[in-house]
Structures are given as structure tokens and as C-alpha cells.
Structure 1
Amino acid sequence: MNLEKLYEIQGGLDAHIVNEQGLEEEWLFEEKVLALKVEIGELANETRCFKFWSRKPPSSKEVQLKEYVDGLHFFLSIAMDLDMDAESLQVICDYTRDTLTETFNDLYEYVAELRAISAVDIPATISLSDIHDTLHVAFSCFVGLGEKHLGFTWEEVQQAYYVKNLVNHKRQLTGY
């Protein structure tokens, strides 16, 4: 997994958005964490893993992959905002659980913990070590969810990320 190229691409998109929206002086951590939670929820909705009351099948792998890379965009953006380099984000442990539902629940908790750690006087008093560790665990869980539970290869994820990044740039150019 090589995140360097994705960092470079995400940094370009983030810089474009910040410049176009006049957000140069804004700390967007709260917004990005909420956006990440929403994207994780949209992915869970497409898997339908928690919908025990329904017989409708999950969305196609392609639809799930599109939702997955939306979450990847925000993980990368948050990591860069916290000055976490790509190497530090590399997955070294499996934080997934036996079921997709359990893994989604754990992922939500990790992202909530990420926000809780940083909730005091952002960004002045953040313990970067604690927040980097928590982000690493959350990201590792997210990557494991994609690989173990959804069957995505890293090559598929990267390719879908590149495609979605182009869509995001076009959206910014058209006043999305």
C-alpha cells in the first residue's frame, strides 16, 4: 500500500477547496470528522449488513467501492491536517472483527474517539501522539473492512480513488 501518491492528490484537492471557499484561516477538523462518519454510514447503508429486517440484497461491489473511497478521501485529509505522514498511516495490524456489522461499530467508535481526543482547544493542545495512534487504528480498521469484509484489493481502491478525485475536482469547478 503506497499512500504517498494519494496524499499528494488529496493535498491538491484540499488546497483547491480551501482556496476556492476562502477557508485558509479555518480549522476544519470537526467538519471532516463528521463527513467521515457520514461516508462510513453511507457505506454501511450500501452493504445493508445491519438491515436484519430486509431481504433486499446489498448494493453492487462498484457502488460500495465508490462509497468506500469517499471515506478514504476524508481519512487522508484528516491525517494531513494532523501532520501525520503517509508512512505513519501504513496498516500493520488487523482491527477488524468477525462480522461486517461489528467492524462498522468498532470503526464508528474509533472515529468518535478521534474526535474526543481532539475536542479540547483544537489545535493548540492536541496530544499528537494520542491522536495519531487513534487515527492509525481507525484507518487500519477501515482498510481491513475494505479488504477482509468487502473484498476490495488495494489496486481497486486506488483506481476508484483516482476516478472519484477527478469527479471531486470537476465538482469544485462547477460550483458543487
Structure 2
Amino acid sequence: MILSEMFENQEKLDKYIMSNVEEEITLEELYSNRILAAMVELAEVSNASRCFKYWSKKESEPKERVLDELADVMHFILSIGNMIAKDIIEEYNFNPVCSYSDTVNQLINLNRICAWLQAIKDLDLYVNVMENFLGLVILMGFEFKDLEIAYYKKQEVNYQRQRENY
């Protein structure tokens, strides 16, 4: 997975999206919106994987659906990184971190770190988010190549949605 290219592609998509936004939005509002969007997408990963639904006998959604939700999270994590430290983040060497051995606690941890990141724009906290997200991808049984393919596939969908005034 070539993260530097993904950061660049995300920046292009974000600029395209912002060129279609009609109302004024401050950088602070945009930052908070992206943090919340990442957290919402993490909740959608949780829901699609059903990892926390101990009371249900239904299986997880198909792996493609879970991967699609992970790609949505990736879009927002890349956007946030571009806002925090665009000049240096592309060259950063991220290593997956599994802070927990199970997806439920990994997801809770990611939400906690995202909340901190909203309050404190800090490069180290951002790195923690990215690395724990990459750890989540591993815990969920995916390869980074799977995530990369899903990311670019979803990026095309996002461009199409913008063209269709989504």
C-alpha cells in the first residue's frame, strides 16, 4: 500500500468536494466534521461486521461490505492527516498497531483517539489513529492491498457522487 499516493489522491478529492460546497465552512468546522465522519464510519464498520452483537446469531455482512466501510474510514483519516501535517505526513512510515487483540476494543480505542485528536491537533495522536486503524484492518482479516483497492474503488464512487450532486 503506497500511502503517499493515497494522501495525494485524497487531497485532490477533498479539493474537488470543497469546490462544490456552496456554504461557508471554517477550517475548524471542516476539521471537526472530518473527525466526526471518521467516527461515524468506524461505527458503520462495527455495524457491518456485527463484532459487538453478542446477542445476535446473524453473521457479519459480506467481507466486501465491511471493506467498503473501512475504505470510507480511510478517506477521512487521510483527509485529517492532510489537514494536520500535509508537508510531512506523506513521507511518514506508519506501522500497524493492534492495541487490543479484539476488534471491539480496537474500535473503541480508535474512537477515543479520534475524540482526543479533535480536541488536540497533534501529529503523534494522528499517527496513533492511522496506526491503530491499520491494526484494525489486520484484526478484521484484511490485507493492506485489499484496503488500497477498496479505497480507490470508493474514491471513484465519491467523484461520481459529487458529479451527481450527492
TM-score by length of 1: 0.87
> 1:141 is matched with which residue?
132
The answer as to whether partners of 2:31 and 2:80 remain within 8 angstroms in 1 is yes
- Equivalent-residue separation in structure 2 for 1:161 and 1:24 (angstroms): 28
> 1:157 is matched with which residue?
147
Unaligned regions of 5+ residues in structure 2, if any?
Answer: none
Any idea what the Cα deviations from partners look like across 1:19-76, whole Å, max 9, x if unmatched?
Answer: 1114676211010011000000000111111111111111111110000000000000
Q: Does 1:8 align with 2:8?
A: yes
Unaligned regions of 5+ residues in structure 1, if any?
Answer: 119-130
After TM superposition, the structure 1 stretch with the greater mean CA deviation from structure 2, 93-102 or 53-62, is 93-102
Equivalent position to 1:166, from 150, 156, 165: 156
Deviation at residue 87 of structure 1 after TM alignment: 2.1
Deviation at residue 7 of structure 1 after TM alignment: 1.2
- Equivalent-residue separation in structure 2 for 1:73 and 1:153 (angstroms): 17
User: Residue 82 of structure 2 aligns to which amino acid in structure 1?
Assistant: M
- Equivalent-residue separation in structure 1 for 2:74 and 2:23 (angstroms): 22
TM-score by length of 2: 0.91
> 1:98 is matched with which residue?
101
The answer as to whether partners of 1:91 and 1:136 remain within 8 angstroms in 2 is yes
Deviation at residue 92 of structure 1 after TM alignment: 2.7
Equivalent position to 2:115, from 89, 112, 115: 112
Percent identity of paired positions between Structure 1 and Structure 2: 33
Query: Against the structure 1 CA distance between its residues 23 and 152, is the aligned structure 2 distance closer, same or farther, given a 3 Å change threshold?
Result: farther
* Divergent runs of 4+, >6 A: none
> 1:123 is matched with which residue?
none
- Equivalent-residue separation in structure 2 for 1:115 and 1:81 (angstroms): 12
> 2:85 is matched with which residue?
83
User: Residue 163 of structure 1 aligns to which amino acid in structure 2?
Assistant: K
User: What does residue range 34-73 of structure 1 map to in structure 2 within 5 Å?
Assistant: 34-73=36-75
Q: Look up the SS of the partner of 1:21 in the other structure.
A: coil
The aligned length equals: 162
